[in-house]
Structures are given as structure tokens and as C-alpha cells.
């Protein structure tokens, strides 16, 4: 069945895709701690941790147990996503990808036929271990998407904003990401999609973006009028498309960092006053975040700037609205967070990491200005910090590998980013090891599945509640949704909590929280039943 388009208020077009029938096998948990009702899955889960004290030069480890109840709503409902920067490379690519998957499209390329898929999405294309087969003892693996009731991306309603008024089909041509044969198959639907006008504060993005800014809301600095305008856009989109929930995701240009100024953006109250006063250090992305929070709509930042200033985080906490970020972790940095974790855990002392990349898409053009590059440099540079800090055998206090990040704009390569990395390490008895990687990746085809993951997981957690056993009141997870960290370069965590960048830990955390919601123990590879046979 073909998708159909619905015009939402304000000129944006939402594509409402009919319900997708899943072919994957479902499962149930046979346990007195898990209860299924038509409305919910409810599980009692014992969380085991180890508390450590250090006195008189001695560590004392004490096992701890806390019993939680988790409740997950089974009715997924109708979900929409509004992309800020819908007309960019990522926005047009993910839109075309969802249409292609819903219609099960196939197309010809110079390398032969290709078919739509969701490769690169951890939710849609990865599996998790459910347990061991009761007869053979072999692992039973299931798609991650079947662990809990999740919206299927084919069912998402898509809309959004852009500073360019170009329709999404034309934006897809401008991006030069997809094969012409695929573009011809999705063009009809996408030609009817026109982004809503966005807010545009020239000081926050590169001057070379000014030529695109022909679809903007009046005013060049923050204002309460802008907040209310965006809130109305969200409400209108939700109403026009009959949605139960909306997720907002920033995939627009990288902004410069906003200065953190006491009395301006350090508290929720001060931030709202700063917006009212039109303070020059309130960025467009922060205004979008504030509007989303006030509408109790999750907001995810896929770019590296510091959208979530302290006042914005506090506002999200006050309104119990999910926020997550920052910066899609797709190619070079994902490799780095995996390789550095492996090397340090193997007892190899990295002493130098040199990262260079060049790209020719509009992201690269925007990053060619120093203030915007600095935002990206920070998000890419901090990715190894927690892994280094975890190994005090290799690294003494204050010691850290040299780490350099360089990005250059090279128009000729378009969306095909070239990334070169050199890892220089000290090994046994003063020896050295050098690892060099050359990574060619189609940037938007890696980032688009991350957008899908971030939307699907964010929506899932809007339907999960928890409480300690014995309590009456159900609660939501903390407003800062740190389970999204697997998809992000610079993961946002609740104030005062540690940042985890190690890729394996991030995925494990996501999977094990989902397992807890159905009363299953954490995924483990101890395999005692095999080793003690």
C-alpha cells in the first residue's frame, strides 16, 4: 500500500505511513515477576550493584540490591517526528529512506539492484541475546526492536522546519546523496513536503549559510514570540496529523558555542528572562529546546553545540520532559570510541590520537568557520576521556593522550567524507605500536539511521514508568535521557553523573535497561553452564 500525505497547518507536510506488520517473532517472559495486561507489561526487577569504600588504604566492596517495578505501555499509538533542518542532507535522506522502506522499493545502480533497508540502525538491524535454547544450549538472538513495544519507523509522520523554503524533493537533489533511480521513485511524495519557516540568528551559524535563509520567522534574536511560534507549530502538527506524541530532533547546522553567563542561562528562570529580553547568547537550538520542553515534547540535539545550557536542563527537569544529545556519532568517532576502549582494556597505553577528516557537504561548509568548528572539535575530542580515566594503571593523575582533531571543507568529495586517524601507543618494554585507519563513509547514510534510533528510543521511554517496590507513585526516567548515548558523540548525562563514551558500555546500558523492563537479567557472557559442565 502506498503512503499518503496530509497537509498540516502552517505549510508543512506530514507523511502518514500506514501501520506496518512485523514479521519478527515476539516473546513472553515466564516469571511470577512479570505481568502482562492489555495495557502494560509490568516487571519486578532486582538491580544489583557494588558499593565501594576506601579507608586506610583499603577498598571495601559491598554488594547492594534494590528492587524496582517497571511498567511499559503496550499501545504505541501514532507518533510524529519534527526535524529542525528538515531540508538538509540528513533530513531529506531519512525522509526518502522511510518512504523507500515502507514501499519496499528496489532500484538499479551501476553495481546492480538495491533494496530498501534499515542497515545502520541499532534498533532495526541489530539483535540481542534473549537466552539459551532449552534443548541445545545455543544462544537465542532476537531483533532488539522486539524487546519492548516500539513504534516502527515506517509508521512515523514526518514534518519539520528549515531556514530554506525548498521542498524536500528538491532538497534531496541538492544534497547529492541518493541514487537518481531511487530519487525518481520517492520524488512525488517528497515534492509535496515543504518545511515550516524556522528561526534564524545569523551570529550562531556560519555567514556562508545566509544565502539559504529564505524561510525564516521574523526576528534575528531570541524572544518569547519565537518560543510561542514554535510551540504553536508543534501543536498544529500534532493536531493536523492526529498524533499521540511528537519527537523533535535538531539535525540543522552546527552552531557556535553559547557562553555560559551567570544570570543569563545558568538557571531556568534566568534563561526564560534572557529569552524575553532577547539576549545575544541564547541560540536558536536552545529556543527550539525550550519550546519543546514547554510542550512536554522530547527534544534531541544531533549537532555538537551546547544547546542544553544549565538553565535548559533545569527547565527540562522542572517539566519532566526528555532531552538528549549531543552530536550524532556515526563514523570516525564511533570507530574511535570502540578502538580506544579495546586498546586501553587490553592494557595498551595510547599516547597520541591524531584525527583528520574532510568533507564537501553543507555541514563541512558551515564547519569551515572557526566558531562552528570549535563546537565540533570539543564533541570529537572528549570522546576518550572516560576510558582514559578508568585505567589508573596506564595513566597517572592528570595524564592524557595527545589528541588532535582537524576538519577541512573540500567541496569535490560531497557527502563522501574521508577520515584518517593515527593511534600511537606504548607497549611492552618501551616498544611502540601505530595503527592507521582510512575511513571513507557516506555521511548522511550513516547519520540517518541514528535519527531513527534516537526517535524510536526516545518515544519508547515516554511509555516507561518506574518506582521502587513498595512505593505508590510511578515516575519517569530522568529528563536527561542518557540511554541515547550510543548514538551520540558527546552524551548528555544528568547533572553530577559521569559521562560514558565507551561504545560497548553504552550499548550494554541501553539493552540491559530494556531487559529490566521485562524482568530479564543483564545480558552476560559468563556461560558457567558450559564452563562447569
Query: Which structural domains are found in the chain, ordered by start?
Result: 4-21+79-328+445-465+482-508 (3.40.50.720), 332-442 (3.30.360.10)
The H-or-E segment that residue 352 falls in is strand 349-359
Q: What digits encode the pLDDT tens for the residues 119-171?
A: 999 999 999 999 988 898 889 999 999 999 999 999 999 999 999 999 999 99
Supply the pLDDT for residue 523. Answer: 82
Distance CA 67, CA 33 (A): 11
Q: Which residues contact 29 (CB under 8 A, 6 or more apart)?
A: 43, 518, 519, 520
Are 313 and 480 in contact by the 8 Å Cβ rule? The answer is yes
CB count within 10 Å of CB 211 equals 8
Question: What are phi and psi for residue 51, nearest 5 degrees?
Answer: -95, 135
Which residues form the catalytic set? 327, 376, 417, 489
Burial (CB < 10 A; 0-12, 13-18, 19+), residue 325, is buried
C-alpha radius of gyration, the chain, whole number: 23
What is the distance, to the nearest Å, from the Cα of residue 43 to the centroid of all Cα atoms in its chain? 27
User: Cell 574521508 appears where?
Assistant: 418
Specify the 3-state DSSP secondary structure of 164.
coil
pLDDT tens digits for range 388-445 = 988 999 999 889 999 988 888 888 888 788 889 999 999 999 999 999 999 888 889 9
Determine the Cα–Cα distance for residues 316 and 308; give it in Å rounded to an integer. Answer: 9
| CB count in 10 Å sphere of residue 272 | 18
* 197-242 residue pLDDT tens: 999 999 998 888 888 899 999 999 999 999 999 999 999 999 999 9
Is there a contact between 291 and 231 (Cβ–Cβ < 8 Å)? yes
Question: Per residue in 90-119, pLDDT tens?
Answer: 999 999 999 999 999 999 999 999 999 999
Q: What percent of the chain has pLDDT over 70?
A: 92
Using alpha carbons, list the distances in angstroms from residue 66 to 52, 193, 467, 489. 16, 49, 11, 31
pTM here is: 0.90
Residue 350: CB atoms within 10 A of its CB come to: 24
Which residue has 601507543 as its cell numbers? 425
Region of residue 376 (left: phi > 0; alpha: psi -120 to 50; beta: else): alpha
Q: How many CA atoms does the CB half-sphere of 511 hold within 13 Å?
A: 21
| pLDDT bucket at 4, cuts 50 / 70 / 90 | very low
pLDDT tens-digit readout, 6-58: 333 333 444 443 344 444 467 899 999 999 999 999 999 999 999 999 999 99
Q: What is the structure's pLDDT at 15?
A: 40
Angle among Cα 217, 218, 219 to the nearest 5 degrees reads 115
Amino acid at each position: 500500500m502506498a503512503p499518503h500525505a496530509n497537509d498540516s497547518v502552517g505549510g508543512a507536510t506530514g507523511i502518514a505511513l500506514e501501520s506496518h506488520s512485523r514479521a519478527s517473532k515476539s516473546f513472553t517472559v515466564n516469571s511470577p515477576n512479570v505481568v502482562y495486561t492489555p495495557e502494560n507489561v509490568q516487571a519486578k526487577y532486582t538491580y544489583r550493584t557494588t558499593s565501594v569504600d576506601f579507608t586506610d588504604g583499603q577498598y571495601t566492596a559491598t554488594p547492594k540490591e534494590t528492587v524496582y517495578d517497571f511498567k511499559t505501555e503496550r499501545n504505541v499509538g501514532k507518533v510524529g517526528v519534527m526535524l529542525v533542518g528538515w531540508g538538509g542532507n540528513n533530513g531529506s535522506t531519512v525522509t526518502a529512506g522511510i518512504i523507500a522502506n515502507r514501499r519496499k522499493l528496489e532500484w538499479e545502480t551501476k553495481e546492480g539492484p538495491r533494496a530498501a533497508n534499515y542497515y545502520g540502525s541499532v534498533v532495526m538491524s541489530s539483535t540481542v541475546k534473549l537466552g539459551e535454547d532449552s534443548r541445545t544450549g545455543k544462544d537465542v538472538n532476537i531483533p532488539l526492536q522486539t524487546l519492548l513495544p516500539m513504534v516502527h519507523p515506517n509508521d512515523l509522520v514526518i514534518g519539520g522546519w528549515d531556514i530554506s523554503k525548498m521542498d524536500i524533493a528538491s532538497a534531496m537533489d541538492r544534497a547529492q546523496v541518493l541514487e537518481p533511480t531511487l530519487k525518481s521513485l520517492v520524488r512525488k511524495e517528497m515534492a509535496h513536503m515543504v518545511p515550516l519557516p524556522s528561526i534564524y540568528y545569523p551570529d550562531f551559524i556560519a555567514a556562508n549559510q545566509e544565502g539559504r535563509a529564505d524561510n525564516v520567522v521574523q526576528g534575528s534574536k531570541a524572544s518569547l514570540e519565537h518560543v510561542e511560534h514554535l510551540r504553536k507549530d508543534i501543536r498544529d502538527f500534532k493536531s493536523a496529523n492526529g498524533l499521540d506524541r511528537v519527537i523533535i530532533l535538531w539535525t540543522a547546522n552546527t552552531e557556535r558555542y553559547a557562553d555560559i553567563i551567570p544570570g543569563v542561562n545558568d538557571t531556568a528562570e534566568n534563561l526564560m528572562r534572557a529569552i524575553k529580553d532577547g539576549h545575544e547568547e541564547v541560540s536558536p537550538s536552545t529556543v527550539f529546546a525550550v519550546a519543546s520542553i514547554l510542550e512536554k515534547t522530547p527534544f534531541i540535539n544531533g549537532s555538537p553545540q551546547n544547546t542544553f545550557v544549565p538553565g535548559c536542563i533545569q527547565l527540562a527537569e522542572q517539566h519532566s520532559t526528555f532531552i538528549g544529545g549531543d552530536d550524532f556519532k556515526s563514523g570516525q568517532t564511533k570507530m574511535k570510541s570502540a578502538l580506544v576502549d579495546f586498546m586501553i582494556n587490553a592494557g595498551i597505553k595510547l599516547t597520541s590520537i591524531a584525527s583528520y577528516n574532510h568533507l564537501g557537504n553543507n555541514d563541512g561548509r558551515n564547519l569551515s568557520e572557526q566558531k562552528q568548528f570549535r563546537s565540533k572539535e570539543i564533541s570529537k575530542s572528549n570522546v576518550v576521556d572516560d576510558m582514559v580515566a578508568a585505567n589508573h594503571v596506564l595513566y597517572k593523575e592528570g595524564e592524557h593522550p595527545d589528541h588532535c582533531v582537524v576538519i577541512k571543507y573540500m567541496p569535490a568529495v560531497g557527502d563522501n567524507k574521508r577520515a584518517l586517524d593515527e593511534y600511537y601507543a606504548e607497549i611492552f618494554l618501551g616498544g611502540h605500536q601505530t595503527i592507521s585507519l582510512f575511513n571513507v563513509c557516506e555521511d548522511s547514510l550513516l547519520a540517518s539511521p541514528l535519527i531513527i534510533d534516537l526517535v524510536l528510543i526516545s518515544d519508547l521511554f515516554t511509555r516507561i514508568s518506574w518506582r521502587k517496590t513498595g512505593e505508590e507513585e510511578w515516575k519517569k526516567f530522568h529528563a536527561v535521557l542518557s540511554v541515547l548515548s550510543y548514538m551520540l558523540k558527546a552524551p548528555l548525562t544528568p547533572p553530577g553523573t559521569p559521562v560514558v563514551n565507551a561504545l560497548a558500555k553504552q550499548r550494554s546500558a541501553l539493552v540491559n535497561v530494556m531487559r529490566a523492563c521485562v524482568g530479564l537479567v543483564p545480558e552476560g557472557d559468563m556461560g558457567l553452564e558450559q564452563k562447569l559442565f
